[in-house]
Structures are given as structure tokens and as C-alpha cells.
Chains A and B, each alone.
Chain A
Amino acid sequence: MLSIKNLRAGIPGNEILKGINLEVKAGEVHAIMGPNGSGKSTLSSVLAGKENYQVTEGEIWFSPPSPRGEGSGMRRKNLLEMSPEERAREGVFLAFQYPVEIPGVSNINFLKTAINEIRLHRKQPPMETKDFLKLIKEKQALVELQGTLANRSVNEGFSGGEKKRNEIFQMAVLEPTLCILDETDSGLDIDALRIVANGVNKLRSKDRAFVVITHYQRLLDHIIPDFVHVLSNGKIIKSGGKELALELEAKGYDWIKEKDQT
């Protein structure tokens, strides 16, 4: 579904991602772990299409499963040629590490616009208001988000945990095929973590893939990954199964970094 080849990106004068390779197939959950400043958020921003970052080398291919089940190879898209909204409409979703507060724009109004623009892109008619409200209600329950929050301005005055839940709520509403979660666990207490993880687990399906970025192992107790990758200084220096996360938790990142250098 996602194929990243030798991706180099950064800001002028500072290369942050230094040759990333990653293959993600439909149905899989990949965890990317790494110390602060290793480039995790940069990677997710580049995947979502943030224009501040320059891609200097490499390719990103996205092959969402075709809606009629015609096989995924048919719809290979060059993500780097697409605007953020085109990526979103094709099914890429980034849950932000720091969700943006947007005073005056109601969550509901914004989501409705988003859904309908995505539907327009897919040549579907706008969603009926009553269907939309039903969908909202259902997905709110999924992440135990209070109804009043959905009606407020986007993230304005939300607690850290509420912001993260709002991200997963939006993800659930938009039903993307590639979900990228950037440190969704940070700032969550243990109950909120469980709720968010449950929400994510309910969305797992054979047609959907997850890239879960996290600094700590604890989220991976709840969302069990198929693969774990370690990102350090803009490179994936080690990949393995879910046990790798436990090893990292026990030994810290220095262990790999040292090993990598030898």
C-alpha cells in the first residue's frame, strides 16, 4: 500500500530524513520508534504533504485498494506529486502530534466539509445530514468523545487528551486507508490511552494499514504492531517484529545506535 524508497527530505540547509526505505502492505501495522529529533514527525509531515519540507531524493508510492476490489496494483499513485487534500481524498490520514487549534471553525462543520469534498472526489453525492449526524454520533462513541466537543471550535481549549481523541475521532469518521499516527500516545493518561488504542483497534481491517509513530513502547501494548522500525538521525537503523519494541524499552535507544555504528 505504501512504498517509500530512499527518501531524503528536510529544510533548506538541513537534511532531516537521510534515505528512508519502508514497505507497508494493506492490513499491516508498522510501528516507528525513535528518540526525539530523529525525524519521526518530519516523515509523517512529508507523507501528508506539508509544503515546508523539501524532498530532495526518493519516491513515495501509495496504492490504496481499489474500491471494487480490482487489486491494488491498478491505482499506484505518486504521493509526492499530490497536494495534501488529494492525498487525504485518496485515503491518507495523519493524526497530528500537535493538533492545531482553529478558533471559530466548528469541528462538525469542518468534518462535514471534509467528508463531502472527499465524496465529491470519489464521485459520490454529498452525505445526507441525518446520515452524517448518525455517523458522528457513532464515531464519537468509539473514542468516548463528549458530544459537546464535536460542536466546539476545532481543538480550541481542548485538553491534550481531548485533542488526541479528536484526531482519532476524525480518522474514524473519514475512514482512510493509510492511517499515520504521530505520537498519539503522548500526553494521554492510561485510561485515555486505552480508549484511543481501542478506537484504533476497531478500525483495523485487511484493507487498511497503520503507521504508528511513538516514542514509548506502552502504546504498543494496546496496538500490537506487525513490524517495528527504529528511526535514528533520519534513517531506519533496525527493523523487527513486535519484540523489538520490548527490547528497546528495556535497553534504550543507545544500545542500537552503538550496535549500528560497529
Chain B
Amino acid sequence: MNAVIDTSATVPARLEGEFKTLLAKTFSSEPEWLKEKRKAAFDSFCKASLPTRKNEEYKYTDVKKVFSGEFTSVYNEAHKLSLDFEKLFVEKNSVKLIFVNGWLHKDSTLSAKLPKGVIVGNLATDGLLIHSGFLKKYLRNDGDTLSRLNAALWTDGAFIYIPENVQLETPIEILHISTGKKEILASFRHLIVAGKNSSVSVIENNISVDLHSHVIVNFHTDIFSGEDSKIQFYRLQNDCKMVSQITSINVLQEKNSRFDTNTITLGRAWARNNLNIALNGENCESHLNGLFITNGNDHVDNHTFIRHNKPNCRSNQLYKGILDGRSTGIFNGKIFVERDAQKTNAYQSSKNILLSDAAAINTKPQLEIYADDVKCSHGSTTGQLNEEAMFYLRSRGLSEDSARNLLLFAFAGDVIEKIQNEPLKIYLEELISQRLRK
């Protein structure tokens, strides 16, 4: 466990020994099928290794660099955190799950009264100990090579199941904290399953507390959205610059379901976010929104991929970026429309403001359409602050900073407007104005 880490070796080679240790210790009591699954995922990761920049999907995002330090994935320290958790959550009455470096933290409050059959817990205990059969059915090894690395190494994460016909009014809040002195690779995983005609709203907040080393968070989420279900998944990335976060969300939607997601990146971040949505039933709706505010050397890469597999589905994407300093942003949105998926409506828009000459944004829409009766469109704009508006506001007495902040806040507002949870909106508005004030 304390072997010297050879950083010149390839990442699979470096992880091989660690993976064996994890299987023998941390994962030793897991059911055999899961260990097999982990092994298969690990093998598949080893074959592909990390994506390089020759890979079109990673052209602007250097994953190798993130994995170039002396990280370890074998860790499980207890961390004492003296935090005012109240302040870190959006709602008083929500169900709260707290994870630290990918492990469940004891201060989680799962006590809220939940309707019969609803499961809100963590994968490692609630999932594996009580609902192992369920997990066997839903845990998957798909996704890109980093998702497969996660499938091999994941330690814990949220496990949410909403049975048929249950509308869960209480939102579920997941707080993920990165902390400590050790460079780790945290592998974190959620599973969310919403049965037929159910609804659920999940807010996930990522923060760093007392963090003294670079941390890689490789994060995978599987979401199953049953017929007529409604799922909202809000992801907040408020980490410090020591954290490199790779996230992927795979969503399978059945007919008449609606999925809403917002990815709000306000931290000093290095983040790569993958969103893969498969619309597998007719009349589905999917709304993907994102906002990022970057500065310094921040790097935020949002990749979306929506697969319209069935007719009469709608997808809508709005991504906005405010970039300052030498930060870089990427929006890469792919819309794929199967031959059968007639009457598809798919829209995509990426809008960005560059506040400095050294900041850069790359946007790349990709439409691949095999049906003939569809409405698809994409648009992207990149510009500076509107000078006329700046002068107008200043001519009424507003300082340059206030004028700028009002305009940027309004720009960001479009994305916040899409959020359907009022307390979260207020929480974010406060965070965003803080962030804009720097």
C-alpha cells in the first residue's frame, strides 16, 4: 500500500496493483458478480487507457495531465469535519446525503419521512447489503473509458429509488466534499432509478474543505427514468482549484418521461462533464442546461450527447459561459437522430462572454440526423460585454463593477431561470453574485 508510485508508468499499469489491493480489502466482502463486473471494467479500461488529445472528444482537454501526479486510489481515512452543514444545504427539510472523498459521512440525515418503498441511501451499504439484486440489475459498465475506470474503482455514492406512482416532494441533497492532504483518485458513483409515473428532484453540491493536495474526482451517475417519470438533477461544482473533476451522467429515458438537468460550475475548476442521454421511448423531453463562470487557469469542458431513438421527443440545451483570465471553456454538443425518430425537436444553444483577451472558448455542435421529418437547430455566440449597455448603466450612476455585474448576472439568469426549485434559485443567485464580485 505504501509502495513507491512510479509516475512514469502508464496509468493502467500504475493502478493494477492498487486495484488488486482494493479487491482483496475494500471490496472483499462484495458479492462475486460485482467483483467480476469490476474486473471486466478494469480490463476494459486497461485496454483503452486514458483518452489522449488525439481523441477528437478530448482534443481540448488533457486528461493525462490530471493523472500525472502521485495519486492513489487506495485510501479510506476518517476525516473530522467541523462544518456548518446547515449553510451548505439549500433546503431545511431535504433528505441529506454527505460524502467525503467518495465515502458516506456519518452526518447524513436520512431521517426525513419518506413515502413507502422509497430508498434514499448509499450504494455501498444500503445498496449492496439490502438491495443487492436490484443493483445487479442496474449497475452497468458502459460509458467511455473513464466511466469504466469508475465502474472498477467506485467506493460509494447515492442510491435512490422511487417506486411507481410516487411523487417525492422532498428534494434529495447530496453534498460531496473533497478534503485531506493526500493526492487521491476518488471514484464516486450514483444510481438513480425512477419508476413509472414517479418524480424526484436531486441537488448535488461539490465542495472542497481543508484540502491540501490535488484530488481527482472521477464521478459516474446512472439515471433510469421510467415511463411518465420526471427527474430533476442539479449539479453544482463549487470546488477549489485543487480538484480536477471528471463527471459523466448516463440517462435512459422511457416514454413520456422528462429529464431536467443543470450543471452549474462556479468553483475554481478543472472539470470535464459528460452528459449522455438516450431517449428510448416516444414523447420524451430532455432539458440540459449549464452555466460556468471561470477565471485564472480554470478549464471547464461540457460534452453532451443526446440520442433521439424514438419519434416525437424533444430536447433542449442551453449552455452559458462567462470566462475571464486565461480560462478555457468547451461546449461540445452532439445530437443524434435515429431513422425512426420522426418529429424530433432538438435545440441547442451555447452563449459565451469573454471578459479577457486571454480567455478562450471552443464550441462544437454536431448534428447527425437520419430521420427526415425533424426540427433541429443549434446556435452559438461568443462576445464581449455590451458596451452600449455598460455606458447606459454607468450614465445612471452605477460603477463599472456594478454595471458589469448586473449585465453578467442577467446573462447567467437565463440558465438559473430554468431551475424549477425556488430555494435553489435563490441559493444560486447569491452564489453567482458572490462569484461575480470575485
Q: Which residues of A line the B interface, CB within 8 A?
A: 48-51, 83-85, 87-89, 93-94, 96, 99-100, 102-105, 109-111, 113-115, 117-118, 121, 153-154, 170, 174
Are B413 and A102 interface neighbours, CB within 8 A? no
Closest Cβ of chain A: how far from B224's Cβ, in Å?
36
**Residues from chain A with Cβ under 8 Å of B413 in the complex:** 104
Q: Which chain B residue has the least Cβ–Cβ distance from A102?
A: B389
Are A89 and B397 interface neighbours, CB within 8 A? yes
Also in contact, A117 and B406, with CB within 8 A (given A104-B411, A104-B413): no
Show 19 A/B contacts (Cβ-Cβ < 8 Å), sorted by A. A49-B394, A49-B395, A84-B391, A85-B395, A85-B398, A85-B400, A88-B397, A93-B396, A96-B392, A104-B409, A104-B413, A105-B409, A109-B406, A110-B398, A110-B406, A113-B406, A114-B397, A174-B396, A174-B397
**Residues from chain A with Cβ under 8 Å of B396 in the complex:** 88, 93, 110-111, 114, 170, 174
In the bound complex, CA of A50 to CA of B395 (Å)? 9
Closest Cβ of chain A: how far from B314's Cβ, in Å?
24
**Residues from chain A with Cβ under 8 Å of B410 in the complex:** 102-105, 153
**Residues from chain A with Cβ under 8 Å of B402 in the complex:** 113, 117
- The 9 A-B pairs at the shortest CB distance, nearest first, are namely A104-B410, A88-B397, A84-B394, A100-B392, A114-B396, A118-B397, A114-B397, A85-B394, A105-B410
Q: Which residues of B line the A interface, CB within 8 A?
A: 386, 388-389, 391-400, 402-403, 406-407, 409-411, 413-414
List 7 additional A-B contacts (Cβ < 8 Å) besides A84-B391, A174-B397.
Answer: A49-B395, A50-B391, A85-B395, A94-B395, A99-B392, A100-B392, A105-B407
**Residues from chain A with Cβ under 8 Å of B391 in the complex:** 48, 50-51, 84, 100
**Residues from chain A with Cβ under 8 Å of B394 in the complex:** 49, 83-85, 88
**Residues from chain B with Cβ under 8 Å of A109 in the complex:** 406
In the bound complex, CA of A203 to CA of B410 (Å)? 32
- Is the contact region of chain B dominated by helix, strand, or loop, or is it mixed? helix
In the bound complex, CA of A88 to CA of B396 (Å)? 6
**Residues from chain B with Cβ under 8 Å of A50 in the complex:** 391
Cross-chain pair count, CB within 8 angstroms: 77
Are B392 and A113 interface neighbours, CB within 8 A? no
**Residues from chain B with Cβ under 8 Å of A113 in the complex:** 398, 402, 406
Closest Cβ of chain B: how far from A36's Cβ, in Å?
20
In the bound complex, CA of A114 to CA of B399 (Å)? 9
**Residues from chain A with Cβ under 8 Å of B388 in the complex:** 100
Are A117 and B399 interface neighbours, CB within 8 A? yes
Are B398 and A117 interface neighbours, CB within 8 A? yes
In the bound complex, CA of A111 to CA of B398 (Å)? 9
Are A85 and B392 interface neighbours, CB within 8 A? no
Closest Cβ of chain A: how far from B104's Cβ, in Å?
40
Q: Which chain B residue has the least Cβ–Cβ distance from A171?
A: B396
In the bound complex, CA of A151 to CA of B222 (Å)? 42
Closest Cβ of chain A: how far from B257's Cβ, in Å?
31
Are A102 and B407 interface neighbours, CB within 8 A? yes
Q: Which chain A residue has the least Cβ–Cβ distance from B406?
A: A105
Closest Cβ of chain A: how far from B236's Cβ, in Å?
21
Closest Cβ of chain A: how far from B399's Cβ, in Å?
6
**Residues from chain A with Cβ under 8 Å of B407 in the complex:** 102, 105
In the bound complex, CA of A89 to CA of B395 (Å)? 9
Q: Which of A48, A49, A103, A114 is B398 in contact with, Cβ under 8 Å?
A: A114
Are B398 and A102 interface neighbours, CB within 8 A? no
Closest Cβ of chain A: how far from B415's Cβ, in Å?
11
In the bound complex, CA of A15 to CA of B403 (Å)? 30
In the bound complex, CA of A111 to CA of B386 (Å)? 19
**Residues from chain A with Cβ under 8 Å of B398 in the complex:** 85, 110, 113-114, 117
In the bound complex, CA of A117 to CA of B395 (Å)? 12
Are A102 and B393 interface neighbours, CB within 8 A? yes
Also in contact, A100 and B399, with CB within 8 A (given A85-B394, A105-B407): no
Also in contact, A88 and B395, with CB within 8 A (given A100-B389, A102-B389, A104-B413): yes
Kindly name the residue among B409, B410, B411, B413 whose own CB sees the greatest number of chain A CB atoms within 10 A. Answer: B410
In the bound complex, CA of A124 to CA of B391 (Å)? 24
Are A117 and B397 interface neighbours, CB within 8 A? yes
Are B393 and A48 interface neighbours, CB within 8 A? no
Q: Which chain B residue has the least Cβ–Cβ distance from A101?
A: B389
In the bound complex, CA of A179 to CA of B64 (Å)? 61
Closest Cβ of chain A: how far from B405's Cβ, in Å?
9
**Residues from chain A with Cβ under 8 Å of B400 in the complex:** 83, 85
Are B414 and A104 interface neighbours, CB within 8 A? yes
Closest Cβ of chain B: how far from A104's Cβ, in Å?
3
**Residues from chain B with Cβ under 8 Å of A104 in the complex:** 409-411, 413-414
In the bound complex, CA of A111 to CA of B388 (Å)? 17
Closest Cβ of chain B: how far from A119's Cβ, in Å?
9
